[in-house]
Structure 1
Amino acid sequence: MNSRLAGWAQALIATLVPLSAPHAQSLEELAARFGAREGVMSMSLAPDGAHAAIITPGPSGQLVMVIDLIAGGAPKPILRSSQASEQFSRCLWPTASRLVCYVSITTKLTDALARYSRTIAVDSDGSNLKVVTERTSNRALGITWNGGSIIDWTGDKPGWVMMTRQFVPETDIGTRIAQRYEGLGVESVDVNSLVRRIVEVPKSGSVEYITDGIGHVRILGTEVSASGPYSSGTIDYSYRKAGDRTWYPLGRVDQGDAGLGKGFNPLTVDPVQDVVYGFDAGPSGRQALYRIKLDGSGKKELVLGRDDVDVDELIVIGRQRRVVGVGYATDKRRAEYFDPALKTLAAALGKALPGKPQVDFVSASEDESKLLLFAGSDVDPGQYYLFDKGTHKLESLLPARGQLEGRKLAEMKPVTFPASDGTMIPGYLTIPPGSDGRNLPAIVMPHGGPSSRDEWGFDWLVQFFAVRGFAVLQPNYRGSSGYGADWYQKNGFQSWRTAIGDIDDAGKWLVSQGVAAPGKLAIVGWSYGGYAALQSGVAEPGLYKAIVAIAPVTDLERLRRDHVDYTDYKIVDRFIGHGEHVASGSPAQNAATISAPVLLFHGSWDINVNVGHSRLMADKLRDAGKTVEYIEFPDLDHQLDDAAARTKILSMSDAFIRKMLNR
């Protein structure tokens, strides 16, 4: 590690978990190390490359700290959140001496939870703190939920940026100067003085703007109206020709009944080529990268598509979001770089760094002479580096999870296994370090989503159980995203029989291959994964001897009702669908069928899956005379992003599973 930073980095690590006994083997110490929050949650580089900002866990909440990359020395804390309900999502640099940070706040309104955002600006020494989000007056006819975000670093002059603003109309009683705009618009804002001017007046239904990175709004997204206050999930996109203020139709993106978007989804504009890059269904039916000319011709060109998986990541770099490549996940995440220099650099770094990790370009100085990198692998939680193109010097900055440095972790190996209908299901098998992989206690761990997928790389939950002696299999069941529309089917709720069938076939395969010892199989899942764990207990009673469900959906009709007071109700309603699967696919309605003991965890401030789901599940299991234990964490959300909570989840889950497998 860079000697200028090593001392304070170790001090930072020590605040997350005690550094004594680095190879501790007790359950409590291991749970504390793996349950500790990621030491670096986000990192960004200043335009001159002289400083970096990091978001890191604090004693309660989070800290924003600034590092002097030239002089070294201790980092300077400049902002802090006081509680878990306040989260910094990103901190970025509009100038070399000033930061803009996005804050997400969860609050309770009567009986419903709500989340709103605010944008703040602060000097790199912690002074001159200001709220950038425009304050609403006492005449406002609504609440500003969206605090705005920077969409272009090129403003009227240095220190100015272009950012979105949610306009809220005001009552005109007693005044002639009431604000009448409503919806999402764009302003040019001086992040120092907060002087602002309107660049784009909000249009009816406007929800998104994309610039060309040099100060011109080129793409507008407007939502197709739905009944009442609800979102429709359908967005019409328009574009402008260079130098033209007229809007021309670009296309429509429709989320559809199953939640899988259809249509060209624009992401960024390249002003040199005068094109917009975005994703759409490719020739194979899997998502591919396209670009469309913005000169009025509408010429659409396939940039990259694959026959096996979705192309799902656009790789951009720098303040102008220059497109440099694309990413996709096969057995591992791959990157194909269009930029020859970055392609060569990424390949060289991947070979030179210990363990040949995957390398991501996180941030860059304004002239791209200095690059902030992140490199990690399945057995390495990851490290941040600074690369200087001029000197070809690579400096190690910070580990993502320093509390795990020096600990031997378990390799994650891509596997396939047959489903009952013969379809080969991909997944990842992690075997305890030093094990021969035979006759082990084993865990099936379905991912959340369901419109998501597992990928090769470090996973704190998987690694904890592997270090504790469990084999862990993560299946990318049908219903997962990343493999095209046919694999996604109707989604993991409407097609629950297929999705849960694949997950249960994963457990049977572990037993048939001799990886799992007879009678030593458990299932653990978070969010949809928790739903899948419980529903597997319904579909295959007796297959698993223990079920651990964290923040699970337990009743599909309740999930629908939970969103009645939110704008996404129509989207959720279509996603869940209607029919017999709603009752048969709800574990709370079929609790009597579950034979395995159940351990439940949930946060009381979960805005993704209401805590009522776990409360209902626990009640239904108790009423049916089943074995269940329920742990609720006050004031924590869906991620349970708290070291004490995660430590408790790990230690209790381990003890619970061992007890049930040894009965």
Structure 2
Amino acid sequence: MIGRTGVALLALLAGMDAAAQTAPGAEALAAKFGAREAVQQISLAPDGAHIAYITPAGTRGSAAVVVDLASGKSTPIGLSDGARMTPLSCGWASAARLVCKFYGISDYGGQRISFTRLLGFDADGRNSLYLGRRTRNGQRPNQFDGSVIDWRTGDGKVLMERNFVPERAELGTNIVADTRDGLGVELVDTVTGKAQMVERPDAEAETYYADGQGNIRMKMELPRSGTGQLKGDAVYSYRPIGAAKWLPFSTSLRDDRNSLDPIGVDGTRNVAFATKRLDGRLALYSVALDGSMTRDLVSSNPQVDVGSIVRIGRRGRIIGATYVTDRRQTDYFDPDYKKLAAVLRRALPKTPLIHFLGATADEDRLLVFAGSDTDPGMYYLFTKATRKLEALVMARPELEGAALGQMQAVQFPAKDGTMIPAYLTLPPGGATRGLPAIVMPHGGPASRDEWGFDWLVQFFAARGYAVLQPEFRGSTGYGDAWFADNGFKSWELAIGDVSDAGRWLVGQGIADATKLGIVGWSYGGYAALQSNVVDPDLFKAVVAIAPVTDLGRTKDEADGFANRDLVQRQIGSGENVGKGSPARHADRFKAPVLMFHGETDVNVGIGQSRLMDKRLRAAGKQSTLVEFPGLDHQLDDSAARTTLLAKSDAFLRAAFGH
């Protein structure tokens, strides 16, 4: 529904309607770009006979499609209508058995909380079985059922992290309450549901690391205060092969930027891979798990952080590390995969983003993705023995043949002279000067943008806008100095960079100064609003999707959760909170504002947008709020995204006077 608006908005809204009517094909284009990705997650069976992928069913529902690769026959299996739970991933426990993880939001004690659930079923959709632990009279909600952390050999049994919730005793019965508490690991038969304890529950355990050989080799614990609040520290332990006792690996203290943080274990090499800072940037090390803790540098970059690993096969063998300069790069440790990646890039020159997504048990057949900035991507099956590459399914078939804008890495100077990296996407067709333009800051703020297809960016480019995505200070991936104190505590620095992005577009002649807008999602929505507090004359229109609008309210939203103290520290205190909250400075706004928000958002409560809208209208400013019932932060609904795109485009055109 559309939120109430003041009288001053009537002319603008009329202009929005007129703009929509006079823009041929705008609605159809919004529907194409707003359609959810056809492949939301994909996996390959251990014998290579089938693939399974999650795909949209209706505007917000989901189905699993199981494809027989020999015959090409597809079997759709309905998973969700999107009303309560959404599937996140499906993997193969055996050649004939799938395990899917679902995500949902529910109310508990007056608060909205997220939860996950696990379900197993045959490849034809039959013999479904709930794989979570059933708890009677739990002392707290069982939010997270668990996760598969080792898919093993494909015999139908998997290693699962499982959350144990202590039970209350039932008075008047002889039923013994289960008092086990915390995260444990069990070997679960996905057909029968029978489970065998592997690691007893640990109340402070946050995750376990399997080695791909059926062994639990590491765990991470998050210590809590006496009130149950997370302290912000992490304690890592490991075990040599065959040992029962946990040994200390490392401790990551809240304010320590020199910690050794494991991100994966490779049992084939008996090592953990961990990040540690080298000259202010994250580098990747291998650490021996034989008791010696021998540490070797395996990947680093002098410009950016190395922050992730590449796995292959059912055993999760680690074959490389990735980092992002102007594009994502992979530093392969495995020479065969390094060579294969180079061969595939030559074979697919228009889609140089090559990712290995899965493999059969013997790694003879590989699941591969290839895409680019102007190609949403294709999923392939590569057979090593025949060196045959077969196209399987397109990521976004609705956009086949659509003209897309090229994304290029650029830099612009901030007010203090610092060069800020960014991505510039110009409209397809060659126009480069005097364009309507958008600055689009990313969410997070502990995040960054990357080169590649982006449905939001490409829609606006297709509608004739230039789009600039600044990697403002406060972004991750560029080292400690760039991250500063994060984009909330250091909001003046971050917002200054965002505003300077707009000034650069105008100064370069790319943007028409009268047609410069700003669009952002989550923290990006916050940046879009706060930039108008800092410089009300720069941007002529603001679109904020699920934005933070009041930093004090963000702190309040964490009340009742274990991370409350961490959120308090992230946001900070004192006058910075008031100055950095756009909802407290509605009187400074000159540009009209359009906001979108999902009613069940647990990342940023919808009350943030409602507060901003109320304050703007009370100050006599132009504000519209579009609410989406039943949707959360990602607005994972094709109809909602189509509405978002169409209304944003019409709003910007009306604000720009065309």
Relative to the length of structure 1, the TM-score reads 0.93
TM superposition shift of 1:255? 4.6
Find the counterpart in structure 2 of residue 318 from structure 1: 313
Q: 8 Å contact 1:210–1:218 — kept in the other structure?
A: yes
Q: Secondary structure at the match of 1:200?
A: strand
Find the counterpart in structure 1 of residue 156 from structure 2: 159
Find the counterpart in structure 2 of residue 64 from structure 1: 64
Q: 8 Å contact 1:61–1:86 — kept in the other structure?
A: no
Find the counterpart in structure 2 of residue 329 from structure 1: 324
TM superposition shift of 1:230? 2.3
Find the counterpart in structure 1 of residue 123 from structure 2: 124
Find the counterpart in structure 2 of residue 571 from structure 1: 566
Amino acid at match of 1:265: D
TM superposition shift of 1:279? 1.5
Between the aligned partners of 1:149 and 1:431, the Cα distance in structure 2 is: 42
1:437 aligns with 2:437: no
Match of 2:423 among 407, 424, 428: 428
Find the counterpart in structure 1 of residue 594 from structure 2: 599
Q: Secondary structure at the match of 2:577?
A: helix
Amino acid at match of 1:147: D
Find the counterpart in structure 2 of residue 383 from structure 1: 378
Q: 8 Å contact 2:257–2:277 — kept in the other structure?
A: no
Find the counterpart in structure 2 of residue 539 from structure 1: 534
Q: Secondary structure at the match of 1:344?
A: helix
TM superposition shift of 1:333? 0.7
TM superposition shift of 1:541? 0.8
Residue-by-residue CA offset, 1:19-64 (whole Å, 9 max, x unaligned): xxxxx96111101101111111011000001100110011141111
Find the counterpart in structure 1 of residue 138 from structure 2: 140
Amino acid at match of 2:402: R
Find the counterpart in structure 1 of residue 9 from structure 2: none
Between the aligned partners of 2:254 and 2:523, the Cα distance in structure 1 is: 19
Taking only aligned residues, the RMSD between alpha carbons, in angstroms, comes to 1.5
Find the counterpart in structure 2 of residue 517 from structure 1: 512
Alignment of 1:153-552 (within 5 A): 153-154=151-152, 158-172=155-169, 173=171, 174-175=173-174, 177-256=176-255, 263-282=259-278, 284-552=279-547
Q: 8 Å contact 2:114–2:143 — kept in the other structure?
A: yes
- Cα 1:540–1:557 change in 2 (3 A) is same
TM superposition shift of 1:262? 5.4
Identity over the aligned pairs, expressed in percent? 49
Q: 8 Å contact 1:290–1:300 — kept in the other structure?
A: yes
TM superposition shift of 1:555? 0.1
Between the aligned partners of 1:591 and 1:261, the Cα distance in structure 2 is: 37
Alignment of 1:66-105 (within 5 A): 66-73=66-73, 75-105=74-104
Between the aligned partners of 1:204 and 1:618, the Cα distance in structure 2 is: 42
Residue-by-residue CA offset, 1:210-240 (whole Å, 9 max, x unaligned): 1211111110211112241322232101111
- Cα 1:356–1:486 change in 2 (3 A) is same
Amino acid at match of 1:145: Q
Q: 8 Å contact 2:595–2:624 — kept in the other structure?
A: yes
- Cα 1:56–1:182 change in 2 (3 A) is same
1:35 aligns with 2:30: no
TM superposition shift of 1:565? 1.9
Q: Secondary structure at the match of 1:201?
A: strand
Structure 2, gaps ≥5 residues long: 1-22
TM superposition shift of 1:105? 1.3
Between the aligned partners of 2:530 and 2:376, the Cα distance in structure 1 is: 31
Decide which moves more: 613-622 or 140-149. Answer: 140-149
TM superposition shift of 1:140? 3.1
Find the counterpart in structure 1 of residue 12 from structure 2: none
TM superposition shift of 1:82? 1.9
Residue-by-residue CA offset, 1:90-144 (whole Å, 9 max, x unaligned): 100010000000011111235321111111100001111000112112x433321
Structure 1, gaps ≥5 residues long: 1-23
Amino acid at match of 2:205: S
Between the aligned partners of 1:36 and 1:25, the Cα distance in structure 2 is: 19
Amino acid at match of 1:661: F
Between the aligned partners of 1:333 and 1:221, the Cα distance in structure 2 is: 28
Residue-by-residue CA offset, 1:179-206 (whole Å, 9 max, x unaligned): 1210001111111111111111112411
Q: Taking CA–CA contacts closer than 8 Å with sequence separation of 6 or more, which of the two structures ends up with the larger relative contact order?
A: 2
Between the aligned partners of 1:235 and 1:566, the Cα distance in structure 2 is: 18
Q: 8 Å contact 1:254–1:262 — kept in the other structure?
A: no
Q: 8 Å contact 2:92–2:151 — kept in the other structure?
A: no
TM superposition shift of 1:274? 1.9
Between the aligned partners of 1:294 and 1:543, the Cα distance in structure 2 is: 55
Q: Secondary structure at the match of 2:146?
A: coil
TM superposition shift of 1:280? 1.9
TM superposition shift of 1:580? 1.3
Between the aligned partners of 1:335 and 1:298, the Cα distance in structure 2 is: 26
Q: Secondary structure at the match of 1:607?
A: coil
Q: 8 Å contact 1:85–1:636 — kept in the other structure?
A: no
Find the counterpart in structure 1 of residue 16 from structure 2: none
Amino acid at match of 2:263: L
1:111 aligns with 2:110: yes
